[in-house]
């Protein structure tokens, strides 16, 4: 992952349509995300993920990461989706333990691993530490009592001004083209993850909003190192 500048790692999540994924990759996305949690309104089947992945590869975007998002999936189910969908990265959004993450890494050693956390307070931030040695990146999302992500709610960005984990970290939760500059100025993440902030409705992205996001990122001055 890159530092906060024009090459910021940017993931657009919750894709359901191959054509939209290809266009968003063309616009400059570092990663395309697929929701593999059946309860989500953005859920896609393994075969749908496969179709989108194949469209990205056919269009020459093999360097764009293909990220499957899971919530407390079994190791067997996760491996099947990863192989069927040709995923390069797995993002865990449930209560997966550090031990589970280690087991997953043994099963799929060539796949990157991101662990997501829903943050309310400093206690939630402290709970991240045991994962720093077993995953490739950490993702911080806004807390919601019933939803695992895609809520459109933002974190308290000021509370993250001194957050410096051992691994790269990704900011999620309510980010959109209008607030991206403030979010990056306050938090200094290694990457960002957007879903509802660039949607017309769940799973249907607004290509005008995604283009607006990438245009604004290109216009931002390089931020000083924290």
178 close to 209: Cβ distance less than 8 angstroms? no
**How many Cβ atoms from other residues are within 10 Å of residue 152's Cβ?**
15
Catalytic residue among 3, 5, 13, 178: 13
- CA-CA distances (angstroms) from residue 63 to 2, 56, 74, 81? 14, 9, 28, 20
For residue 220, what are the contacts with CB-CB under 8 A and spacing of at least 6?
Answer: 6, 180, 181, 184
**Side-chain half-sphere CA neighbours of 138 within 13 A:** 24
**How many Cβ atoms from other residues are within 10 Å of residue 176's Cβ?**
17
Catalytic residue among 77, 101, 133, 141: 141
DSSP 68-118: EEESS--HHHHHHHHHHTT-SEEEE-S---HHHHHHHHHHSTTSEEEEEEE
The continuous run of DSSP H or E covering 192 comes out as strand 191-194
Does residue 206 carry a catalytic annotation?
no
Catalytic machinery residues: 13, 141
């Amino acid at each position: 992952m890159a530092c906060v500048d024009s090459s910021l790692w940017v993931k657009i999540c919750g894709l359901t349509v191959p054509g939209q994924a290809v266009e968003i990759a063309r616009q400059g996305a570092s990663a395309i995300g697929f929701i593999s949690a059946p309860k989500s309104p953005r859920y896609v089947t393994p075969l749908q993920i496969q179709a989108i992945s194949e469209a990205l590869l056919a269009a020459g975007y093999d360097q764009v990461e293909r990220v499957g998002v899971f919530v407390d999936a079994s190791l067997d189910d996760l491996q099947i989706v990863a192989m069927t969908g040709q995923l390069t990265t797995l993002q865990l959004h449930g209560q997966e333990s550090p031990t589970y993450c280690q087991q997953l890494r043994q099963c799929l050693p060539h796949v990157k691993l991101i662990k997501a956390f829903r943050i309310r307070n400093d206690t939630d931030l402290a709970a991240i530490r045991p994962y720093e040695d077993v995953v490739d990146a950490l993702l911080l999302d806004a807390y919601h009592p019933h939803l695992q992500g895609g809520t459109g709610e933002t974190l308290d960005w000021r509370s993250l001004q001194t957050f410096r984990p051992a691994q790269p970290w990704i900011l999620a939760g309510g980010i959109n083209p209008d607030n991206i500059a403030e979010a990056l100025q306050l938090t200094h993440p290694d990457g960002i993850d957007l879903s509802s902030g660039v949607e017309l409705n769940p799973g249907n992205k607004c290509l005008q909003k995604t283009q607006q996001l990438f245009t604004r990122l290109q216009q931002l001055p390089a931020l000083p190192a924290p």
